[in-house]
Copies of this chain bind each other. A is one copy, B any other.
């Protein structure tokens, strides 16, 4: 029974698990956005008091950043995973569908962490907002690259403009989050994805 002995740190042990704390905080931030999630909301949901939270995470902004990291590498990892799809129409489909699944992973649809915090003044003046925008734009550029490759490979209509197409997709992507918050059903949004796919400018196969 000489199990893996975890080397416990020196002082009083933490009452809570940082990882699950981040998950709970994520849910809060997604539901209410950064500004509307108060320290009181956080400490109540995490069942710890303010100094503990500050000792563990610094302050509200740094907490948000940790949450954001967990969000990126966790629930919204699909964001980058889909880039590996071979067919670009399939990539778009997966991107949108996974986004919807994430929005509805809980019965009451949570918003998107990013979208729900776009209006935050605090995130704006601390530069976190800009950091987020940059990440989104980088992702958009990756989409452009994908579409360019797809065009070379003859997957897209020859008139297709990769740049425009990427903007089109990310605009839809963000729009989905607003629709979910504003009461569109999961089914309706999935149907919307079908619509997008049907309209997709895939190269028409050679005349039969």
Interface residues of A (CB under 8 A from B): 32-33, 35-36, 111, 115-121, 133, 136-137, 159, 161, 163-165, 167-168, 170-176, 178-179, 181-184, 188-189, 191-192, 194-196, 198-201
A55 to B185, CA, bound (A): 41
Partner of A174, one of B133, B175, B198: B175
Question: What is the copy number of this chain in the assembly?
Answer: 2
Q: Are A192 and B168 in contact (CB under 8 A)?
A: yes
Q: Are B171 and A33 in contact (CB under 8 A)?
A: no
Q: How far is the CB of A143 from chain B (nearest CB, A)?
A: 13
A32 to B119, CA, bound (A): 6
Looking at chain A's contact residues, the main secondary structure is helix
A121 to B200, CA, bound (A): 37
A167 to B201, CA, bound (A): 20
Q: Are B121 and A119 in contact (CB under 8 A)?
A: no
Q: Are B121 and A32 in contact (CB under 8 A)?
A: yes
List 23 interface pairs A-B (beta carbons < 8 Å), by A numbering.
A35-B35, A35-B36, A35-B119, A36-B121, A111-B118, A116-B118, A116-B119, A118-B178, A118-B181, A163-B191, A164-B194, A164-B195, A167-B179, A167-B184, A167-B188, A168-B196, A171-B178, A171-B192, A173-B175, A174-B178, A174-B179, A175-B175, A199-B199
